Amino acid sequence: MGVLLKTKNMFKYIASDRKKFLSSLLENFGGWVPDKYYLKMMFRLRMGKKLDLVNPITFNEKLQWLKLYNRKSDLPLLVDKYAVKDSVAKTIGSDYVIPTLGVWNDVESIDFSSLPNQFVLKTTHGGGGEDVVICRDKSVFDVEKAKAKLKISMGRSLYKRFREWPYKSVPRKIIAERYLEDDDGGLTDYKFFCFDQYVDCVMVCLDRYSGETKFYFFDEQWNLKRLNIRGKNAPADFTLKKPDCLKEMFEIAKKLSKGHPFVRVDLYNCKKKVFFGEMTFYPDAGFDSNLLAETDLYFGDKIHLPNEKRKG
């Protein structure tokens, strides 16, 4: 009876979200599929349309093209959460780099006793909040839960899952960083959309750990850009508090994006001081179905691919 019930539930799940099921199936068992065909199948499943690699137009399409054909030798270093620190320090200065408190090759080697009361742990090859552990108070910090999460992260592969080539050769380590917090107890994330030294806008991320993250786009003059549903529906006079170091952050993003057709430069503005977060070359792995159609075209138009014959 139990087996029949599980089987019935499985078929109900498949019927309710067939594309999600097939996408999950491809992620888990599609390791043998060549990158180009894997991305074509995944794009069809996630975006609901054919991936055009011969004449890519949209932002999401061009990110897939860059995954396949932009193989610059510095990309693996720039997505490595530890190695990128040296590169950033050389470009904009070490004062912008979040101090590293420790580096370990595996979860069991982490020396929690050496860490302060507050800290952040992250894997060097990961991406997003699922690969980050935050300790705000060591006295109530669940070490075993943190280790379990990091073990899963250490076994995760962005290359295998989304064919993000730069992550394929990143050494898998765990780093501890200094905990950042603003005067109000929070920390605002500023994500700059950059197109080879042209910084179009910054996406402000609010309430990241509340269960409902809010995103708004602003230009360098701090005018709201209605590039997403929340921004599009915002009142005519809507705005947020302009950060103290906005001009400085735009300049930093411009410098770090040099030579890259597209990169999202993530920065923090903590107590009127700017810190580098990371460089993201494929936001949402290039499968952002929530992006407005006009925004997908708008960002896509700003990515200038190399002037070579398009590969399909």
111 and 189 housed in the same domain: no
188 and 275 housed in the same domain: yes
Q: What is the pLDDT of residue 209?
A: 59
Query: Where does the pLDDT of residue 183 fall: very low under 50, low under 70, confident under 90, or very high at 90 and above?
Result: confident
**pLDDT, tens digit, for every residue of 188-230?**
889 999 999 999 999 998 776 566 778 899 999 999 999 998 8
Residue 59, domain member (yes or no): no
Residue 80, domain member (yes or no): no
Split into its structural domains, the chain has a count of 2
How large is the average pLDDT for residues 274-297?
Answer: 95
Alpha-carbon span 132 to 130, nearest angstrom? 6
Residue 75, domain member (yes or no): no
Closest residue by Cα to residue 147 from 107, 180, 186: 107
Residue 86, domain member (yes or no): no
Residue 190, domain member (yes or no): yes
Whole domain around residue 112: which residue ranges?
A: 99-179
Q: What is the mean pLDDT of the chain?
A: 89
143 and 104 housed in the same domain: yes
229 and 254 housed in the same domain: yes
Q: What is the pLDDT of residue 307?
A: 66
187 and 294 housed in the same domain: yes
**In this structure, are residues 280 and 263 in contact, taking their beta carbons and an 8 Å threshold?**
yes
Last residue of a domain, one of 116, 147, 179: 179
239 and 152 housed in the same domain: no
* Chain CA centroid to CA 132, Å: 12
Least confident of 13-22, 49-58, 59-68, 81-90: 13-22
Residue 14, domain member (yes or no): no
What's the whole-model pTM score?
Answer: 0.90
3-class secondary structure per residue, the chain:
CHHHHHHHHHHHHHHHCHHHHHHHHHHHHCCCCCHHHHHHHHHHHHHCCCCCCCCCCCHHHHHHHHHHHCCCCCHHHHHCCCCHHHHHHHHHCHHHECCEEEEECCHHHCCHHHCCCCEEEEECCCCCHHHEEEECCHHHCCHHHHHHHHHHHHCCCHHHHHCCHHHHHCCCCEEEEECCCCCCCCCCEEEEEEECCEEEEEEEEECCCCCCCEEEEECCCCCEECCCHHHHCCCCCCCCCCCCCHHHHHHHHHHHCCCCCCEEEEEEEECCEEEEEEEECCHHHHCCCCCCHHHHHHHHHHCCCCCCCCCC
Alpha-carbon span 240 to 286, nearest angstrom? 28
